[in-house]
A = this chain, B = another copy of it.
């Protein structure tokens, strides 16, 4: 599990006075810094080897300007060319504010094609399956046509 502290910026908050929903995905991206570093040790942007395939975020509580949040990041699934990264965001009192999952794919940006994960990368990712204690479950996407109330 990787842990990153993020100070909420003034501009992260939208007209509702709280952190905008898209910015949570930016926080997840910051949570993945040490995972990016597995593929690109110096974080050089012209030497990246992964691309995002899917992002998902469940919003639990609003986040405000002036707060510092903690992003927890761990690996839930490893496949041939892709892996799922789970995220959770907590505040300084340990309350959960969001829960997410991002699917990443090994990618060659020059040839524009998917590449399998190396065994050594898989072995390292495999050491990070453990998430934080008490983290809430992800909400599943509702099937089309199915009507289930949130409230």
Contact = CB atoms under 8 A, between A and B. Distances in A.
Contact of A10 (B14, B55, B64, B150): B14
A146 B77 CA distance: 7
B29 A76 contact: no
Which bracket fits the contact residues of A? Answer: 35 or more
Among A46, A65, A81, A150, residue most surrounded by chain B Cβ atoms (within 10 Å): A150
Interface of A: 6-7, 9-11, 13-17, 20-26, 29-30, 33, 36, 42-43, 45-46, 48, 51-59, 64-66, 76-82, 84, 101-103, 105, 109, 114, 116, 138-142, 144-151
Given A14-B15, A77-B145, 13 more contacts: A9-B30, A10-B20, A10-B33, A16-B45, A21-B29, A22-B23, A43-B64, A54-B57, A78-B147, A79-B150, A103-B142, A140-B140, A140-B141
